[in-house]
Structure 1
Amino acid sequence: MRSVTEHQKVVADLIVPRAPIDMPLADALGLVLAEDVVAPLSLPGFDNSAMDGYAVIADDVADAGPEHPVLLPVAEDIPAGRTDALTLKPGTAHRIMTGSPVPSGATAIVPVEATDAATDTVAIRASAKPGQHIRRAGEDVTAGTTVLQAGQVVTPAMLGLAAALGLGGLKVIPRQRVLVMSTGSELVAPGQPLKPGQIYESNAAMLAAAVRAAGAEVVASPMVGDDVEQFRTALDNHVGDADLIITTGGVSAGAYEVVKDALLKEVEFVKVAMQPGMPQGSGTAAGRPIVTLPGNPVSALVSFEVFIRTPLRAAMGHPRPSRPTLTAELTEDLTSPRGKRQFRRGVLDAETKTVTSYGPPASHHLRWLASANCLLEIDEEVTELAAGSQVHVWDLSSG
């Protein structure tokens, strides 16, 4: 059998990045910058007021106080957005709003709370230091400065900065586009009535969500029966611009294995020394990389975590593509099959760094995986672990 490490490399080699593209700001959140961003202008672009109040010459109000206000005629009113150049003459004040350009000659802003808020002759009841409440041009960003770096994941604050700099978009590594296909004639879409022997399809919904949670895009998630012609038709109809195909089911050793039957000449089907998720496949179909996963739901999602999620995120440039891992103390005795790397569902207590296995190890127990927050990884050569042992844990709650 192929080792987990060997199959991880095979799958990783299939998933390659797309070329960087210019993405509108509205669509760039969560993507990774493909190049540095150099500020085309300074922020602020001009001296502006940090307060609603009055632009003054500090020397004119040096003696102002609550009991002895200084009276100054209000020569101009400066709302935000006023664009004409103004000059403040000695012995006068300009009423000014937050963000408005400071008139030439003004050396301070007196907050409106320190005045009587008059619009003709204002009573200034506090002195002001030179530069008080004035935001200087370029004090946040100087034109020509590198403000964002390639490899950063785009955040709301970064989008705000880009917009403030007048940028309409950012050059980013685009999302991987993934086609998810589930197979099985026994499958019925949720919401439809079941006949005897039928089950509701869950893998497509689950894996499509896992793809999106990893930051990629799902182009389609069709469900097809165990018919080779139907499978090939659905594949051809949906592959479109997909960068990766993921299938579930139809890869085991029995009859009616539709994925195997349809792709035997294009995909290498192997057994991987792991539990759950032994039957796997990888290759190229319809001109696209394809990874074929087993059909049992726990096997499918664990296989996605072990083989696909990390290289998928790496292909989108994420600086931390892998799940966080740690070593935790096992709270119970466990056994594991020799020769297979076991991935057990578990509950991790991050504060005490202790972990407990959760539910049976069989691959159809989806309920337990739904409530687990980690995977316990037990090496191939380990058959028994005693309570108190240290075990390798994948933290599914973050990353």
Structure 2
Amino acid sequence: MMRMQPSLGALTGLEAALAALLDGVVPVAPTLLPLYQTLGKIGAAMPPLVHAQPTRDTAKTDGWACRALDLAGASAYSPLPLMAIPVWVEAGVAMPEGCDCVLDADLIDCSGPMPQALGEAAPGQGVRRAGEDMEAGRPLIIAGHRLSAADLLALRSVGIGEIAVRAPQLRLIDLAAPASDTLTGHFIADLARASGATVFDIETVTRDARSVAQALASAAGDLIILIGGTGAGRADATADVLAARGALIAHNIALQPGRTAAIGRLDAVPIIALPGAPDQAFAAFLALVQPTIDRLSGRSARRQTVLALERKISSTVGLAEIVLLKQEQDRWAPLAIGDFSLDAIRMADAWLAIPGGSEGCAAGTAVGAFVFDDPR
């Protein structure tokens, strides 16, 4: 594991901190879960589809199952007598043998002594052909992708009731202090769940070193998140406790917002200590926690959406600064950089990190940003 010697007042570069945090971290083992628990989780590899779907021709709509050839020439002006009443089918049921189309309900007249067709149809009309939905050999899910409602629909359609996912178990320790810290704890828990982690109940402890140490000693999981107590206040003991346990990798990251974040490791379990303020914790979550959850869940690399900047972004050299963006037509409009209001957090569509060695980006520059509502 990569170790860094913490020094008071020094800032650790974001790239170096993230590399140290992720050093040796591997995806967790897959777990089988029922489908209703897997929405938003990251799928693991599964055997491909054995049989094409549907296995037989099925009706797309309710109506009369017919043979198109038997309807040739039928119209409302020239009804065509039929030898027998066609079979009525409901949407989704297998088509009767010899039938290749579905005729609307009002196009068969059964009021007289002999049924009559009042319209014709082409072969395949109203029918979903065998194998039309999914070919044999297709992956049921794409390993490393976030499971969507459409994925679960496809799985249910072939009778699968559970699926393999990688869902890292996250322990969240919230250091009780100002009311904002409690709000931050729930905010971070929601963000982690949306990233595919399984979050246990938030454990709330007082800020003193003994309470924090006891909480760490009993914490178990794939990732431990502490919230609060990372600053320079007299009651801020988080980094000191991690250092005393020999678990501290770095404290004070060259990141804005989120400078006072700390990272560490207890045995093989990564630890990330976030500042208590919501905007500071949010930025550190994006820069440090989200990549760690992605690594633990085996998630594929997140896609970036590239658009031109609507206006210039100025950044402080030496600090990696998180920028919140809103899409305005075909451009990224910066909402906030380095300091976030709750409204900016709420309204943002995407984010990007300006590297510490950059002074920013000129208006019109094409930049890649990570969208918050990433379907993959």
**TM-score normalised over the length of structure 2:** 0.78
Cα distance in structure 2, aligned partners of 1:394 and 1:145: 31
1:114 paired residue among 107, 110, 113: 107
1:175 paired residue among 157, 167, 181: 167
SS of corresponding position for 2:39: coil
8 Å Cα contact 2:308/2:330 also seen in 1 = no
- Per the alignment, residue 126 of structure 1 pairs with 119
- Per the alignment, residue 160 of structure 1 pairs with 153
Cα distance in structure 2, aligned partners of 1:171 and 1:261: 39
Cα distance in structure 2, aligned partners of 1:387 and 1:60: 69
Report deviation, 1:387.
Answer: 7.5
2:88 paired residue among 92, 96, 104: 96
- Per the alignment, residue 241 of structure 2 pairs with 262
SS of corresponding position for 1:162: helix
Cα distance in structure 2, aligned partners of 1:51 and 1:375: 44
| Structure 1 pair 175–117 and aligned structure 2 pair: CA distance change class (3 A) | farther
8 Å Cα contact 2:253/2:262 also seen in 1 = no
| Structure 1 pair 122–222 and aligned structure 2 pair: CA distance change class (3 A) | same
| Structure 1 pair 66–163 and aligned structure 2 pair: CA distance change class (3 A) | same
Q: How is 1:1-399 mapped onto 2 (pairs within 5 angstroms)?
A: 1-13=11-23, 15-58=25-68, 60-72=70-82, 91-98=83-90, 99-106=92-99, 108-118=101-111, 121-129=114-122, 132-146=125-139, 148-172=141-165, 174-183=166-175, 186-188=177-179, 201-237=182-218, 239-240=219-220, 242-253=221-232, 255-264=234-243, 265-285=246-266, 288-321=269-302, 324=305, 328=309, 330-331=311-312, 334=314, 336=316, 338=317, 340-343=318-321, 346=324, 348=326, 350-351=328-329, 353=331, 355-356=333-334, 358=336, 361=338, 366-367=341-342, 369-370=344-345, 373=348, 377-381=353-357, 388=363, 394=369, 397-399=372-374
Cα distance in structure 2, aligned partners of 1:34 and 1:303: 27
Of 151-160 and 134-143, deviating more is: 134-143
8 Å Cα contact 1:329/1:391 also seen in 2 = no
- Per the alignment, residue 8 of structure 2 pairs with none
Report deviation, 1:245.
Answer: 0.6
SS of corresponding position for 2:212: helix
Of 249-258 and 22-31, deviating more is: 249-258
| Structure 1 pair 323–218 and aligned structure 2 pair: CA distance change class (3 A) | farther
Cα distance in structure 1, aligned partners of 2:364 and 2:280: 26
Which residue identity lines up with residue 353 of structure 1 in the other structure? R
Which residue identity lines up with residue 86 of structure 2 in the other structure? H
8 Å Cα contact 1:226/1:257 also seen in 2 = yes
Report deviation, 1:5.
Answer: 0.9
8 Å Cα contact 1:116/1:122 also seen in 2 = yes
Which residue identity lines up with residue 109 of structure 2 in the other structure? D
**TM-score normalised over the length of structure 1:** 0.74
8 Å Cα contact 1:377/1:393 also seen in 2 = no
- Show CA shifts across 1:162-214 (max 9, x none): 22212222223x22221222325x435xxxxxxxxxx6633212222221232
SS of corresponding position for 2:109: coil
Cα distance in structure 2, aligned partners of 1:375 and 1:62: 60
- Show CA shifts across 1:130-166 (max 9, x none): 5554444334345555454433432222222222212
Cα distance in structure 2, aligned partners of 1:128 and 1:352: 45
8 Å Cα contact 2:308/2:363 also seen in 1 = no
Bigger Cα Rg? 1
Cα distance in structure 2, aligned partners of 1:62 and 1:327: 58
Percent of counterpart pairs with the same letter?
Answer: 23
SS of corresponding position for 1:201: helix
Which residue identity lines up with residue 178 of structure 1 in the other structure? L
| Structure 1 pair 151–235 and aligned structure 2 pair: CA distance change class (3 A) | closer
| Structure 1 pair 41–377 and aligned structure 2 pair: CA distance change class (3 A) | closer
Unaligned runs of 5+ in 1: 73-90, 189-198
Report deviation, 1:290.
Answer: 0.9
Which residue identity lines up with residue 258 of structure 1 in the other structure? A
8 Å Cα contact 1:42/1:141 also seen in 2 = yes
Cα distance in structure 1, aligned partners of 2:254 and 2:103: 74
Aligned CA RMSD, in angstroms, stands at 3.7
Report deviation, 1:325.
Answer: 6.5
Unaligned runs of 5+ in 2: 1-10
Cα distance in structure 2, aligned partners of 1:379 and 1:51: 56
Report deviation, 1:215.
Answer: 2.6
